[in-house]
Amino acid sequence: MYTEAELAETVAALQNPNPPERAAMLKALWAWPSQDDRLLPYLRGLLNDTAPCIFGSPMRFGEIRWLAAQVIFAEFKARQRKESVWLEDAVRPLNGDELTALAASAGIDCDSSLPSLLAAFTELHRQNQLPTTTLELRL
């Protein structure tokens, strides 16, 4: 369980207005679940966050809410709770080549730089041109 200071720091990162900051905290929690139930309401709040982010190896482009769902499931799994996480109409994470191809077919200029790829993701998302899926995570 987190101390009050650790909890406050983690919540502040999850509520940061900058998506890369929220994503960084989510990636850390995915790798090292907190096992602190006090974080769950903040994580659940991010299940509606469609801001773009980068994660994984190889690198993937997706939504903050995809990461939030993975973190909630990691929390459940770490505590052996047989709960599932369901996320409808989530953008399927894309690698750089997939994102570049989608941008080209939509007539969006995009090179292989991170700013260009994130801008293309944002524009494709705005145009509803990104592939979506239902994410279901369960033990």
Q: What is the pLDDT of residues 51-94, one digit of tens each?
A: 999 998 899 999 999 999 999 999 999 999 999 999 999 999 99
pLDDT at 13 over 90: yes
Burial of 94 (0-12, 13-18, 19+ CB in 10 A): buried
Burial state string for 40-54 with b = 16 or more CB within 10 A and e = fewer than 16: eebbeebbebebbbb
- In whole angstroms, give the CA distance from residue 8 to residue 4: 6
